[in-house]
Every structure is written in C-alpha cells, then in structure tokens.
Amino acid sequence: MAIKSVGVIGAGQMGNGIAHVFALAGYDVVINDVSAEALDRAPGIIAENIDRQVARGLVAEADRAAALGRIRTDGDLSALGQTDLVIEAATEREELKRNIFTALVPHLGPDTILTSNTSSISITRLASVTDRPEKFMGFHFMNPVPVMQLVELIRGIATDEETYETLKAVVEKLGKTSASAEDFPAFIVNRILMPMINEAIYTLYEGVGTVESIDVSLKLGANHPMGPLELADFIGLDTCLAIMNVLHEGLADTKYRPCPLLVKYVEAGWLGRKTQRGFYDYRGETPVPTR
C-alpha cells in the first residue's frame, strides 16, 4: 500500500527525530503526546534541527519550509486514526506501549500499519493487543534519527510480507538503509551494543579502569567514535538498564545481568545527558567523570 500520512506517538528525542525525517521525505506527519508541553516544544525543536542541516548545505531552505508545513501536533490519540502508518515512540516500557496500542486501535482505518520504535521489546507481544498483528512491525530508528542511517525492521510472528515490503520501501524513500531482524530480545543492534556497554560498566565497577581510561581505550583502541560510557550517557542509563533487563529476562543467561553500578546510577536519577549527570557530570563547560 502507498504510505502518504504518518502518525508519531511521542514528542521526545526519538519521536521528534522520526517526524523530522518523514516530513523532509514528503510525508504528512501528526505528532501525538500526552504532554501538552512536549507537543508545544516539538515544532521548534524540529525547526532548529533542520536549520542545522540547512546551515551545512544538506537541506535547501525551500525544503525546510515545506517540511515544517507538513507537521502538525495533536494531543488526542484519535487524530492518528486517519493516517496510513503509525509509529509508536513512547518510553521503553512494555505496559505503556501496550496501553497506547489498545487505546489507538478503535480509531484506526482497516489498512493502517502499526509499528513500534522499541529497541528491545517483543514485537509479537505488542502486536497481540491489536486487531491487526499481520500489519504490525518493529520499526527501530537509531538516535539521532536525522543523522543515523540504519533502521531495523522486525517482523512479529504474524507480520505479513506486504507490510514488510511496504516499510522496506518507506525506509528507502527516507534515504536510509534497513536491516531485517528476527523478533528476539533487543534484536540486532542492541543485542550486541548493550552487553558491550554493560561490560564497560563492569570494568569500571571492578576498578579495572577509570571512566576516562575505558572511554579512550575504546575510542583509540577500537576506533569507536564515542567511548562506551559516554555513549551510555547519550542513550540514557535508564534505557540501557531497561534493555539489559529485557535481555536478561528474555534469554535467561547470566551474561546479560545488568551491572549493579548501572542499577545504582539509575536509582540515583543519574541517567546521563538528559539529567546532566551520569558517568560524566555535564553541568560545567566540559564533562567531568563522576567516578
């Protein structure tokens, strides 16, 4: 089916980024969020991010204006009912996501495709609360969405071929690359990335290295653009912990046990950049390690 209009649930960093790239690619976008404040901020944040692309010569000024004209916000979930594709980008909590889909389904047309931007949760389980598991998929964008080229496409047990091919074509229209993943905990990227980050935290926890030495070792020794602890702060330590818990519970292997230090940081509310403190303290001019 042809996708022309897109509903995005969640006006946070991921939701805004997803709306940004879809609007630039010519889709009409409706952003929904339970927070009126987040909805009020969303168009301005997207405009600022597109402005950066204009300044770098990546986007023409006319395309900027056209893209922003395609975006609207609405606090009523029913406003997404007439869209061709819905992308849920709410907080990484399964109960919350299931409740969103349960509330959304009565408002949908028969052909609307449902997707979740979840980074780890079972697509089959999420699809089971809807009336269209065959038209449900995982649609996992990487952060920051306008910059990162990959989109993971995850089929649930009931997802049909037409839905998969439709979303694969959408990814191509966005100018991004898709990777197909089976519906196992954390899929591909986070199945590999999060245990690496968790192991870096264990390396800190056990005193093998400092925050700085661990990060510089991976940047210079493995040619990673960011160190694992710096990356954890960027992703959000609460998100890292949530994914590790999904891996640990879903695969029942002790190698996925979240590091106690990661748990402690999340309990302290030190979640990384978004709270100004994580493995680094961001409240000054330059980040300073907190251990």
Architecture of domain 5-182: 3-Layer(aba) Sandwich (3.40)
Domain ranges of the chain: 5-182, 190-289
Instruction: Determine whether the annotation assigns residue 15 to a binding site.
Output: yes
Instruction: Determine whether the annotation assigns residue 10 to a binding site.
Output: yes
- pLDDT tens column, 183-224: 999 999 999 999 999 999 999 999 999 999 999 999 999 999
| Residue 140 annotated as catalytic | yes
Phi, psi of 47 (to 5 degrees): -60, -45
Residue 1 pLDDT greater than 90, yes or no:
no
Instruction: Determine whether the annotation assigns residue 33 to a binding site.
Output: yes
What mean pLDDT value characterizes the chain? 96
Residue 161, pLDDT score? 97
Q: 84: how many CB neighbours lie within 10 A of its CB?
A: 19
- Give me the torsion for CA of 14, 20, 25, 28, rounded to 10°: 100
| Residue 190 annotated as catalytic | yes
Q: How far is CA 208 from the centre of its chain?
A: 31
Torsion sign across C-alpha atoms 72, 78, 80, 84? negative
- pLDDT tens column, 113-149: 999 999 989 999 999 999 999 999 999 999 899 999 9
- Out of 1.10.1040.10, 3.40.470.10, 3.40.50.80, 3.90.78.10, the CATH code matching 190-289 is 1.10.1040.10
Catalytic residue among 32, 140, 178, 198: 140
- Quick one: average pLDDT of 69-78? 95
Q: Is the pTM of this model over 0.75?
A: yes
Angle at alpha carbon of residue 242, lines to 239 and 244, rounded to 5°: 110
- Quick one: average pLDDT of 234-238? 94
